[in-house]
Amino acid sequence: MSRTHTAITDEMAEYIASVTLREPEVLRRLREATTDHPNASLCSAPEQVQLLHLLARLVGARKTLEVGVFLGYSSTWVALALPPGGRLVACERSSEWAAAAQRTWREAGVEDKIDLRVGPALLTLDALIASGEAGTFDLAFIDADKTNSDNYYERALVLVRKGGLIAVDNVLWHGAVIDPSVRDPDTEAIRAFNRKLHGDARVALSLATMGDGLMLACKL
């Protein structure tokens, strides 16, 4: 085991993908088709969501949550890991993006596993808690507006069972988190969120540095 980090150059990233990535064809087409999308950066790295797929299998997930769906890339990866009868509650504010995600789910054959909720995610999460679904989710993935990351996390922590997993994307924010000259609200919110999780005794914690950083918190 090394105490140093291997630098991930573009060439190394291509090598890693060549020996580990098992991207379904429908998702490869979606990812390549959205390369020039004005919001392409909202799509998670394939290596990240393949890891989520693996983690969903490891925790035996049957019921999962996603906050921020975009075009359905990550939710499809997770839904493919769920057994028959599994359920993924997908929270998306944009009806346009939700419609696009539905097309992705349909093409991938997972539409029957998705419970789509269009509207502000905080209202959806509060409604799930109010309806008695606290402690019933196995995994939650948060990839939405960064100023609300902590609010989403706190609600996910209520909804996820003990031993369940919360994953939060973009915690490295393309390196801006370590640049003291960057003081915009999103960056400041991510810095505060990372500091909070570091001291949160309610979870076991790790940060997967692939993509833009994926924070992993297991509820204790």
What does the pLDDT look like over 56-105, one tens digit per residue? Answer: 999 999 999 999 999 999 999 999 999 999 999 999 999 999 999 999 99
* Tokens 């640049």 -> residue: 179
| CATH-assigned architecture of domain 10-219 | 3-Layer(aba) Sandwich (3.40)
196-211: average pLDDT: 96
Please write the tens of the pLDDT for every residue from 97-143.
999 999 999 999 999 999 999 999 999 999 999 999 999 999 999 99
Residue 79: φ, ψ to 5° = -60, -35
Q: Which residues of 52-62 are buried (b: 16+ CB within 10 A; e: fewer)?
A: bbebbeebebb
Q: What residues does each domain of the chain span?
A: 10-219
CA atoms within 13 A on the CB side of 66: 29
